[in-house]
Structure 1
Amino acid sequence: MNQKEIYNKLLPYIEESGLHFDAPMREYTSFRTGGNAALLVEPANLFELFSTVETLNKEKCPFVVMGNGSNTLFRDEGYNGVVVRVGEGIDRIRIEGNVIFAEPGILLSTVSKKAMEHSLTGLEFASGIPGSLGGAIYMNAGAYGGEMKDVVISTASIQRNGMMKDRKVDSINFGYRKSIFQETGEIIIGVKLYLQSGNQEEIKERMKELNAKRNEKQPVSLPSAGSFFKRPQGHFAGRLIEEAGLKGLSVGGARVSPLHAGFIVNEGGATAKDIIDLMKLVQQTVYDKSGVMLNPEVRII
């Protein structure tokens, strides 16, 4: 990929401050490690996002879209393409009665807080999830018995051919940590949620309770991507890892958290290779001991 050529093609649409050569993706992901992207684009609004996608498609340039980077790991070799980061500027929110209209770059925790301020219940589970709304829809994020599929009415997205697509919830094909967007490559640009009316104090108390539980049982002080593995049917990943004697196991600067075996953490200086090697070691050991193959929840690029 010719970074300079793509840069010049994007410059009429994107402010210079939103274009970054050789961008260190460790600064944009919660694992705080990984290689560089040839070019990072940070659109400041939906028009810039549309223009970016249109230009990259026209130039047949490889690109990936990310949000807050809380569930993404870039390999140490980096990414020889364009990373489109959807965040600040594409984060507007509007609430009308029980319906929330929001753009994908807004943090999920912010949406949860706004819902509470409007006495709307159903998003308490999301109050401590660090990702963006778009990323949460992409992977059907969930915690403590709640999932995004429970509150989504519809989405608007850009298809890879540049055409707009509106989807009702039943065509999003939500499953456990999956959605149709993982298959189609559509880029979410708008989300419509429906929540129930509730008691603001009760909602606030529930959020406080869940965040206290998260802070007590999860290694929130260390860089990680949250639960690293998907929950296997009929099992819990953390329990299988612990039963295999892997709690606290480390490879380089990466460690299976001694606090919660379902988390892989960066204890300082971990490379992406350390994390991936530890992942493979955990997968093989758990499979040898239980016959269950663990699959990563984290997107590895």
Structure 2
Amino acid sequence: MTPMSLHTSAVERLCLRNIPLSSFSTYSIGGAANYVALPETADDLAALYQDCKKQGLPWYTFGMGSNILFPDQPDPDMVFVSLKRFTELKTKGDKWFVSAGTPMSLLSLMGLSGGTDLLDFTFLLPGCLGAGIYMNAKYNHRQICDIIDTVYYIDLSSRAMSVQSIPSAECDFAYKQSIFQHHPWIIVGADLNIPVHSEEQIQYVSNLAPAWKERGNHPSSLPQFFSFFLGEVHALAGKGIPTPESMLDIIKYRTGKRHFDYPSCGSVFKNNYNYGVATGSLVDQLNLKGTEHGGAIISPHHGNMILNQNQAKASDIVYLMEVITEAIHRKFGFVPEPEIVLV
């Protein structure tokens, strides 16, 4: 399929042309894509998939780009579908509905404004809810599945591509696992098992998504991300809602590990709980921290992070991933499983 044959309204209406994928990834890596779509509703999303399917165009869907390594030379026919504008938080009865492109960190602000600590663990998690559900995102002892009531999704194998639902108990959640990894389903949102607290909370939360779209997510910059959320907790503190110790600990940990100093995608490998030692600690034992290749470096402060130190290419990141993989296999007898998605 050549670009000249594109004539479908949804593709023409929703796609930007010749856009660098580096601006959609917290790694700041990725070549120019011929087609990047930014749907804001489930209807637009379904229409886009139907048009792509009709035209025989491949597509790739992603959220905030915080766990993705885009290629240096993208497939020229690929339609890259970003959910960054698909951001909504609203009341649904006595609970909250959150759309898939909403940053998980916004949930922590929603909880803080509502007087609950159940969402504190999402603070400064640099990913969107859809991706968090897909991989059952985790921080310390809390997981996204702990706060999910019902998940809404589009089944890409169905002709109608209508929105369907599945209760959390049937989502097969486990460590970094969910049912969505085994089906052609695109998550569009979820009901949370978090009650609505007050009219004041509703008013505050109603302004969060517009504020994020205006100030927080252009481009996918980790310093900008950090600045937005730090500013919001300071603003809430100014209104008499103090920042809890749990959030202060997260700020201290992430700044101490220099998580926001350079473009990165956080932890590159999953922890092997059967082995019992965190991957970052194993890299530390192997004296690999600070190893450089091209513009990339294994973080001197966190062994499970590979940083874009100086205009790194995707190939530089992959090279250092292979260095870590081979060293861990040789020394500790297992192959670490990547957490980052290689597109």
Q: Same fold (TM over 0.5)?
A: yes
Q: Sequence identity, in percent?
A: 27
Shift of 1:110: 1.1
Q: 1:15 & 1:3 partners in 2: Cα distance?
A: 11
Q: 1:122 & 1:48 partners in 2: Cα distance?
A: 32
Shift of 1:21: 2.2
Shift of 1:144: 2.1
**Equivalent residue number for residue 186 of structure 1:** 185
Closer, same or farther in 2 for the Cα pair 1:37/1:114, shift >3 Å? same
User: For this pair of structures, how many residues does the alignment match?
Assistant: 295
- Coordinate RMSD, CA, aligned: 2.1
Deviations 1:243-282 (A, max 9, x none): 1111111111111100111111000111000000110111
**Equivalent residue number for residue 211 of structure 1:** 251
Q: Secondary structure at the match of 1:242?
A: helix
Q: Secondary structure at the match of 2:266?
A: strand
Closer, same or farther in 2 for the Cα pair 1:48/1:116, shift >3 Å? same
Shift of 1:115: 1.9
Q: Is the 8 A contact 1:21 1:38 kept in 2?
A: yes
What code does the residue aligned with 1:209 have?
D
**Equivalent residue number for residue 282 of structure 1:** 324
Q: 1:289 & 1:101 partners in 2: Cα distance?
A: 46
More helix by share: 2
1:268 paired to 2:296: no
- Mark the runs of 5 or more structure 1 residues left unpaired by the alignment: none
- Larger mean Cα displacement after TM superposition, 231-240 or 43-52: 43-52
**Equivalent residue number for residue 109 of structure 1:** 105
Q: Secondary structure at the match of 1:120?
A: coil
**Equivalent residue number for residue 129 of structure 1:** 125
**Equivalent residue number for residue 2 of structure 2:** 2
**Equivalent residue number for residue 149 of structure 1:** 145
Q: 1:134 & 1:261 partners in 2: Cα distance?
A: 27
Deviations 1:57-113 (A, max 9, x none): 23332111111100011122213411111122x211124687321111111111221
Q: Is the 8 A contact 1:112 1:127 kept in 2?
A: yes
- Mark the runs of 5 or more structure 2 residues left unpaired by the alignment: 198-239
Q: Secondary structure at the match of 1:13?
A: helix
Q: 1:197 & 1:274 partners in 2: Cα distance?
A: 46
Q: 1:133 & 1:276 partners in 2: Cα distance?
A: 26
Shift of 1:209: 2.4
1:168 paired to 2:167: yes
Q: Secondary structure at the match of 2:272?
A: coil
Provide runs of 4+ in structure 1 moved above 4 Å: 200-203
**Equivalent residue number for residue 76 of structure 1:** 72
Instruction: Give the TM-score of the pair, scaled to structure 1.
Output: 0.91
**Equivalent residue number for residue 232 of structure 1:** 272
Q: Secondary structure at the match of 2:297?
A: strand
More strand by share: 1
**Equivalent residue number for residue 87 of structure 1:** 84
**Equivalent residue number for residue 51 of structure 1:** 47
What code does the residue aligned with 1:299 have?
V
Shift of 1:196: 7.2
Instruction: Give the TM-score of the pair, scaled to structure 2.
Output: 0.80
